[in-house]
Chains A and B, each alone.
Chain A
Amino acid sequence: DAGVTQSPTHLIKTRGQQVTLRCSPKSGHDTVSWYQQALGQGPQFIFQYYEEEERQRGNFPDRFSGHQFPNYSSELNVNALLLGDSALYLCASSAKQGGPETQYFGPGTRLLVL
């Protein structure tokens, strides 16, 4: 059983460019959350997708957007990249089964903006 997978593992972009990160959830999971982890910090919640809709959003600008596909995989898009967007981007998946959720994390995509 594959866990949460993310691609690419590393990415280098320049300021002003756009980037797309991808996530495939753990088998049986239908909810995907995205987190940004700056160097030396804890992860910060960006947003969560369920049933192909954004359900919750953290304190991130509209430059950060996402999508969830019918197979539950998800993309994170960041437009007009800033130097401060350099971080490890983590995807987490979970299953909405009526109880408290435990999210399983992927290995992350490390984005460097030059």
Chain B
Amino acid sequence: AQSVTQPDIHITVSEGASLELRCNYSYGATPYLFWYVQSPGQGLQLLLKYFSGDTLVQGIKGFEAEFKRSQSSFNLRKPSVHWSDAAEYFCAVVPWNRDDKIIFGKGTRLHILP
């Protein structure tokens, strides 16, 4: 079945430490890939997206993600987190046939220790 998996429900890191959030997808072909962030009580903000080309994509707020076809993964990274990065992060896909509906993972809540 088609799915998006974020294996970590919660992650806690210290401020200034590096971060990696995992995402795996299960589709017949490479979908379009996204990472969104949602702060408490807020809507979703797009961090970055991958459609094709360079497999390392840069996003806003210092985030980047790497697409690895062999692993069906699209992990989100940041070299040094800030307290303001505490939020929920959603990996999402739009299937390759571009029927436009976004399929979201269940999210990873990021906690930052001072």
Residues of A within 8 A of B (CB): 4, 31, 33, 35, 40-45, 48, 55-56, 58, 90, 92, 94, 99-108
Query: Which chain A residue has the least Cβ–Cβ distance from B91?
Result: A42
Contacts of B94 in A (CB 8 A): 100-101
Does B54 have its Cβ within 8 Å of any Cβ on chain A?
Answer: no
Assembled-state Cα–Cα distance A64/B99 (Å): 20
Assembled-state Cα–Cα distance A107/B45 (Å): 9
Assembled-state Cα–Cα distance A56/B98 (Å): 11
Q: Are B101 and A58 in contact (CB under 8 A)?
A: yes
Q: Are A41 and B106 in contact (CB under 8 A)?
A: yes
CB distance from A54 to the nearest CB of B (A): 12
Residues of B within 8 A of A (CB): 32, 34, 36, 42-46, 49, 51, 90, 92, 94, 98-107
Q: Are A90 and B102 in contact (CB under 8 A)?
A: no
Q: Are B46 and A43 in contact (CB under 8 A)?
A: no
Assembled-state Cα–Cα distance A55/B100 (Å): 10
Given A56-B100, A102-B46, A104-B46, verify A42-B51 contact (CB < 8 Å): no
Name the contact of A90 in the complex, choosing from B43, B98, B106 (C-beta under 8 A). Answer: B43
Contacts of A92 in B (CB 8 A): 44, 102
Q: Are A43 and B44 in contact (CB under 8 A)?
A: yes
Name the contact of A105 in the complex, choosing from B32, B45, B106 (C-beta under 8 A). Answer: B45
Q: Are B90 and A42 in contact (CB under 8 A)?
A: yes
Name the contact of B100 in the complex, choosing from A35, A40, A48 (C-beta under 8 A). Answer: A48
Contacts of A58 in B (CB 8 A): 101
Contacts of A108 in B (CB 8 A): 42-43
Name the contact of B101 in the complex, choosing from A48, A104, A107 (C-beta under 8 A). Answer: A48
Contacts of A44 in B (CB 8 A): 104
Query: Which chain A residue has the least Cβ–Cβ distance from B49?
Result: A102
Assembled-state Cα–Cα distance A40/B90 (Å): 11
Contacts of B51 in A (CB 8 A): 99-100
Contacts of A99 in B (CB 8 A): 51
Q: Are A90 and B99 in contact (CB under 8 A)?
A: no
Assembled-state Cα–Cα distance A68/B17 (Å): 46
